[in-house]
Amino acid sequence: KCHEEMSSPLYFGWFLFFTVQDEVRETSTNFLKSLEGLESFQKHISDFSGKEEKADLDQYFKAKGTLHCTTKFTNYGKAEGAKEYTAKQIVQELYGSVSELSLSALFITPRTIGARVALSEEQLKLWPDDAEKEAESVVPGASALPLGSRGHVTLGCVEGVEAVQTGYDLLQILVLQKNGEQGEAEEIDAGTLTYYGEGRWYLSLKEPISAAASFSSAYK
Ligand code: ACK
């Protein structure tokens, strides 16, 4: 790899510590198990299987490698604003620093499973100003959401679906919430679970998961 490429990663983000990744994956598996056990979920199972029969959710979603929360997708310097982001003083300053990500919700759609990240003030300093705006063409209304709304950890995708979809799916749910969509809510052990139609399930965690992560970059 030439120098130019090495200093221009595919993306920047917070990378969860390995021990924490195992815990989060276990939480995610447990979430899917508890969903499958719910009558309300079984009522809408055809969103996932296309048929009125049991879908094995754990088999349905495929893992996407190292668990992380993307701040900026730089695409080896080719993405819009990539060079500016990389050169930011705060990015240089906090590169390699460790902080705690607060995972405040888990969600699934027929395409993706992910965890919502509630970013701290300090963490928001690393958040690009246009992260939500950039999604507007895919998710109408996204640009009006607060900065950091797109913050997420992709836990898995259906075969053939790219990880970028997870953030779009989260934004779509947040737009519905902002528009006052009530959905069908119920209390389960882990928190409040809401169904927003079209296979969109959102679990607001009673106790957010604190996940240690380091701010860094990845090349593939
Ligand atoms: O799960 P993610 O946030 O979604 O982490 C991966 C990471 O970059 C490496 O592929 C994210 N990603 C891919 N394309 C884009 C894009 N156009 N905008 C924002 N994030 C992206 C993907």
Pocket flag, ligand 1, residue 10 (CB < 6 Å): yes
Nearest CA to ligand 1 atom 9: 11
pLDDT reported for residue 25:
97
The one catalytic residue among 21, 152, 157, 200: 152
Pocket flag, ligand 1, residue 112 (CB < 6 Å): no
DSSP codes, 16-84: E-HHHHHHHHHHHHHHHHHHHT-HHHHHTTHHHHSSSS---HHHHSB--SS-EEEEEE-TTTTSTTHHH
Residues in the chain with pLDDT < 70?
1-6, 50-55
Nearest CA to ligand 1 atom 11: 164
The ligand 1 atom nearest the CA atom of 218: 9
pLDDT reported for residue 58:
85
pLDDT tens across 27-62, in order?
A: 999 999 999 999 999 999 999 876 556 668 888 999
The ligand 1 atom nearest the CA atom of 164: 4
Pocket flag, ligand 1, residue 167 (CB < 6 Å): yes
* Side chain identity, residue 116: R
pLDDT reported for residue 52:
54
The ligand 1 atom nearest the CA atom of 135: 18
Query: Which residue matches tokens 């749910």?
Result: 173
Instruction: Decide if 17 contacts 213 (C-beta within 8 A).
Output: yes
pLDDT reported for residue 13:
98
CA distance 190 to 125: 30
pLDDT reported for residue 112:
97
CA distance 38 to 31: 11
Nearest CA to ligand 1 atom 19: 73
User: Among 100, 55, 80, which Cα is nearest to 199's?
Assistant: 55
Q: Any catalytic annotation for residue 44?
A: no
CA distance 72 to 54: 38
Q: Any catalytic annotation for residue 152?
A: yes
Token pair for 20: 């924490």
Instruction: Decide if 118 contacts 112 (C-beta within 8 A).
Output: no
